[in-house]
Amino acid sequence: MMNDPVTTRSDSPPAIPAPRENSWTTVTRWLLVINIVIFAADFFVIRRGVIVPPGHAMPLLASYGFFSFATAIGQHEFWRFFTYQFCHANIDHILLNMLSLAMIGPLVEEEMGRMRYLVFYLICGAAGPIAHLVFGQIGMMSVDIYTPLVGASASIYGVLVAAARIAPDEEVMLAFPPIDLKLRTFVIIMIGLSLGAVFWRWQNAGGHAAHIGGAVMGWFLVRRMLPINREDAMARR
């Protein structure tokens, strides 16, 4: 998904919670590394684009990982439900996503344990394209089966919901306006904005639909995947 106007980008939240001490845990760190390496290889090393049907320009590595219904469903390339989460459209896209993940991921990983957190992250990301399709089927937005979808934001919205469940009163400093919000309030606002973007068909409505999919899946999974107590969480690391 480059700067093609019909390409759907899964954007990340514009503000993030403050980091906690000793927050760099293994899965979050490796998710950051994989995303950054793929982006850097595409944009600064390979620097070669390809055209994917019906005429979208994509970086080389992203062309093997992006999601579209024509490829993932029509061509049975089901791995794209997961690989699209590691592809990004431009420097702003990956910067916002990775900064958000670095800030909120360790909190959720600490509570869930590494393996549960990784599964949670990937499933929330896979729910993004499904929500895109559902909104299209109920007539809230148009769905082009060839439109590429890239970005980690569906995963990050799921992690945001989990973080709001774990620490609802954690303070979040907005970039603009510069005010403090409780994490729970922030997450509700972000989901509301994505719902509005889909309902009123704002720019990148498909990306916002993916946000909602990740958030809903996060809400569904978080109570089932959080350990009952902290001793259980420690045992799962």
Q: What residues does each domain of the chain span?
A: 19-226
Reading the block at residue 174, the tokens are: 């907005």
pLDDT digits (tens, 9 = 90+) for 23-80: 455 899 999 999 999 999 999 998 888 888 888 888 999 999 999 999 999 999 999 9
Residue-averaged pLDDT of the chain: 85
> CA–CA separation, 118 vs 116, rounded Å?
5
The predicted structure's pLDDT at residue 3: 39
Q: Are 182 and 174 in contact (CB under 8 A)?
A: no
Reading the block at residue 160, the tokens are: 């945001």
**230 burial via Cβ count (<10 Å: 0-12, 13-18, 19+):** exposed
Task: Return the closest-CA partner of residue 210 out of 132, 101, 133.
Answer: 132
Residue 158 pLDDT grade (very low, low, confident, very high; cuts 50, 70, 90):
very high
CATH architecture of the domain with range 19-226:
Up-down Bundle (1.20)
Strand partners, 51: 57
Q: Strand locations in 102-145, DSSP E?
A: none
- Alpha helix locations (H) across the chain? 26-40, 60-65, 69, 80-83, 91-112, 114-137, 153-166, 183-199, 205-225, 230-235
Instruction: Report the predicted TM-score, pTM, of the whole model to 2 decimal places.
Output: 0.84
